């Protein structure tokens, strides 16, 4: 790996995390196309590299949210209970069933596009009442699904959990720290699962350690700055930001998947 590649990864991790940490998205969901198209990380190694990025970058935003007193409550524990078993299942699916990036891009676009448009539309109409909050059982089931998706594609669950929970009335000040905490714990488990699979399976399965660490170092700084910015943004602006990020990513994946 050249120093230019490492610097590109560091800067990408920093800039992405500044924008995504305020809404509970780790940034890995946007780092993935950078890895595939710019840094040329092979598949499926791109997924554990993304998980490594989450592990290294996560403490930056989480430390700030903890300092703000936002890591209290049961939402984070509930999300973690669902995403951890999901990410193990997703890693197995990724290695043995769908190793190609084209399938990922189309599936991710199909999931994120309606979620992003829905949340963005609701944010632009602040008088629209939220739907009733999801039950604990529904949140747990959703967490298992997003954990599985995260295990397959290394994107973390915040990009999917966030729009759904926000659209059902959960404040972004609760969603962001809980989603990032779940992403952090899940990524540790997911990266470990891929490491074990790499010992018993052929192919590019192990993470690209140097690149993942450099991207994560940028994300560590960017995540802290983004979490520090969140209290200064109104709830509706945070919802609009989350919807815009999800929609933009879905369009990008759709274009790449159909190319």
Q: pTM for the full model?
A: 0.84
User: Residue 60 is part of which domain span?
Assistant: 3-258
> Is 60 exceeded by the pLDDT of residue 120?
yes
Q: So what's the pLDDT on residue 104?
A: 67
- What is the Cα gyration radius of the chain? 17
**12 CB contacts (<8 Å, ≥6 apart)?**
31, 34, 38, 215, 218
Taking phi first (over 0 means left), then psi (-120 to 50 degrees means alpha), and beta for anything else, what does residue 17 get?
alpha
How many Cβ atoms from other residues are within 10 Å of residue 129's Cβ? 7
Q: How many domains does the chain contain in total?
A: 1
Q: How confident is the model at residue 130 (pLDDT cuts 50, 70, 90)?
A: low
Q: Which of 53, 68, 70 is nearest to 17 (CA)?
A: 53
> Is 90 exceeded by the pLDDT of residue 228?
yes
> Is 80 exceeded by the pLDDT of residue 107?
no
User: Could you say which DSSP state residue 42 is in?
Assistant: P
> Is 70 exceeded by the pLDDT of residue 146?
yes
């Amino acid at each position: 790996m050249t120093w230019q590649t490492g610097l590109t990864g560091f800067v990408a991790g920093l800039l992405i995390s500044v924008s995504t940490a305020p809404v509970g998205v780790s940034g890995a969901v946007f780092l993935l196309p950078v890895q595939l198209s710019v840094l040329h990380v092979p598949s499926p190694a791109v997924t554990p590299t993304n998980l490594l990025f989450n592990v290294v970058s996560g403490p930056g935003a989480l430390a700030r949210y903890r300092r703000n007193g936002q890591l209290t409550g049961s939402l984070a524990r509930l999300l973690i209970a669902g995403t951890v078993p999901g990410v193990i299942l997703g890693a197995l699916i990724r290695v043995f069933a769908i190793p190609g990036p084209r399938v990922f891009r189309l599936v991710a676009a199909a999931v994120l596009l309606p979620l992003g448009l829905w949340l963005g539309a609701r944010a632009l109409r602040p008088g629209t009442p939220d739907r009733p909050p999801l039950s604990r059982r529904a949140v747990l089931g959703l967490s298992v699904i997003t954990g599985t998706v995260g295990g397959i594609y290394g994107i973390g669950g915040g990009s999917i959990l966030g729009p759904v929970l926000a659209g059902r009335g959960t404040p972004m000040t609760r969603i962001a720290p809980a989603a990032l905490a779940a992403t952090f714990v899940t990524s540790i488990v997911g990266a470990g699962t891929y490491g074990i699979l790499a010992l018993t399976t052929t192919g590019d399965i192990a993470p690209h350690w140097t690149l993942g660490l450099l991207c994560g170092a940028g994300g560590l700084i960017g995540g802290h700055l983004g979490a520090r910015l969140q209290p200064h943004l109104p709830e509706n602006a945070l919802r609009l930001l989350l919807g815009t990020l999800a929609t933009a990513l879905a369009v990008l994946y759709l274009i790449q998947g159909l190319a």
